[in-house]
Amino acid sequence: MSAFRWLLCALTLTLLAPSVEASTGGGTPNHSYELSGDALRRLYNSAVYKAERMKRPLEGTSVVMGPISHSGVRVTLADGSRWLIHKGNNYGTASQTVVVDARHMSSDWRVVREGNFQGRKTVADFVATGGSNYDLLFDNCHWASIRMMDQ
């Protein structure tokens, strides 16, 4: 029976995969707020003081049910700025784990876990822990956000 449940879960996730989008809240991502050069380097080297694992419904749904959702980690830096680090298929060029300004998050996101990192980790550590490759079943947004919180 457990093999049947695994197969059913895999099939469900495969069918829902097109619903997972690269934006922070639904629809097409807005790349007008991308950082580059020194600004990006400063962000990646910034110490993380607080991290919150967050989930939101997939586009077209209104509920969060386990893996039938999208998750990421919102980090708070020393200057009080907050950034969402999340992973998805084709989210980035060099890595499928990306960082976006949390001001662009929709109100659908909900905190499911909090952690106090006291500046011991950087944004770059979170991105690296999230991983550069994406796999729907074995290295998706949920596994990445769990690893980020457990580092």
Q: What is the 3-state secondary structure (H, E, C) of the chain?
A: CHHHHHHHHHHHHHHHHHHCCCCCCCCCCCHHHCCCHHHHHHHHHCEEEEEEEEEECCCCCCCCECCECEEEEEEEECCCCEEEEEECCCCCCCCCEEEEEHHHCCCCCEEEEEEEEEEEEEHHHHHHHHCCCCECCCECHHHHHHHHHHC
19 versus 103: the higher-pLDDT residue is 103
- pTM here is 0.80
Band (pLDDT 50/70/90 cuts) for residue 33 is low
Q: What is the pLDDT of residue 100?
A: 94
Query: Per-residue pLDDT averaged across 122-147, rounded?
Result: 97
Whether residue 59 contacts residue 140, with contact meaning beta carbons closer than 8 Å, is answered with: no
The length of the chain is 151
Tell me how far apart the alpha carbons of residues 79 and 51 are, in angstroms, rounded to a whole number.
Answer: 14
Contact between residue 73 and residue 86 where contact means Cβ atoms under 8 Å apart:
yes
Helices 141-150 and 123-130, packing angle to 10 deg: 140
Identify the band that residue 145 occupies on the pLDDT scale cut at 50, 70 and 90.
very high
pLDDT band at 25 (very low <50, low <70, confident <90, very high): low
Per-residue pLDDT tens over the stretch 49-62 = 999 999 999 988 88
Would you say residue 142 has pLDDT above 60? yes
Compute the distance between CA of residue 27 and CA of residue 20 in angstroms, rounded to an integer: 10
Q: What are the tens digits of pLDDT across the range 71-124?
A: 999 999 999 999 999 999 999 888 999 999 999 999 999 999 999 999 999 999
Q: Token digits for 118?
A: 């006291």
Q: Locate 59 and state its tokens.
A: 């586009």
Would you say residue 19 has pLDDT above 50? Answer: no
